Amino acid sequence: MFDAQQFSIDLKIQKAKYINNEVVDTSLLERYIHFLQQVDLTTLESDVQKCSFWINVYNGLTNYWIIEKKIKKSMLERPLLVMCAKILIGKYKFSLDDIEHGILRSNQRSRYKLWKQFSNRDPRKKLKTQKLDPRIHFALNCGAKSCPPIAFYTQQRLDQELHQAEASFVDQEFLVDNEQKKIQCSRIFWLYRSDFVDTYLNDPKYKDYKVSYNKYNFAIV
C-alpha cells in the first residue's frame, strides 16, 4: 500500500545520498513508482486527504526527478521539468504542474499560461481540491534552494502542519520595515499573489509600501 508521507521522507533521504555522491537505492525508487501506479485516487475524498497526499507526492517526485534526470547543481539544468516530466499515478499521468495548479490550486492557471491547468474535458479535473488553501505555497518544494523546505504532512494534523510551514517561511521570507514602509520578500508572494486574497502583498495596510523581491536561488540542496 502506498504511503505518501513515507514516500516523501524516503525520497528526501535518497536525494541527499545522490547529492553527496553516495549509492542511491534504485530498487526502492522503482518500487515507489510501481506503487504510485496502483493508487486508487478516488479514495481521496476530502480536501484534507487530497492536500496531505498530493503535497507529499509532489515533494517526493521533485526529489525523484532530481535523481532520475541527473540534475547536479541547479534546477535550471532542467527548466521545463515541472511542466514536461510526467509519471503515472493511478490511471493518469501527472507533471508537477498538474499536481500544483490542477489539483492543489483547484485547477487554476499558472502565471505563465493563458489557460487553466485542466480543460473541462480532462478527467483529472474531478480530482482537484474543492477549495484552494494558499498555505500549500509554503509546503511545496520544486527542488530549488529558495523553495520552502520539505516537511511531511498528515491528514490528522494537516492544519497545524501547514500553519507551521507558513509561519516559518513568512518569518524568513516576508520582511516588513514599517518605519521605511518597505517589504522585502520571496517571489512566491508575487507569483501567487491572487491566491493570498487579502493577505501579505494584498493586505490594505501595505498599500503604500515599496516591495523588493529576493533573487530566486535555483541551486539544489
pLDDT digits (tens, 9 = 90+) for 134-168: 999 999 999 999 999 999 999 999 999 999 999 99
Work out the burial of residue 74: count CB atoms within 10 Å of its CB; fewer than 13 is exposed, 13-18 middle, 19 or more buried: middle
220 strand-pairing partners: 144
Could you tell me if 181 and 211 are in contact, meaning their C-beta atoms sit under 8 angstroms apart? Answer: no
What does the alpha-carbon distance between residue 125 and residue 18 come to, in Å, rounded to a whole number? 35
Per-residue pLDDT of 36-53, as tens digits, reads 999 999 999 999 999 999
- Alpha carbons within 13 angstroms on the beta-carbon side of residue 185 total 22
pLDDT over 90 (residue 190): yes
Could you tell me if 7 and 13 are in contact, meaning their C-beta atoms sit under 8 angstroms apart? Answer: no
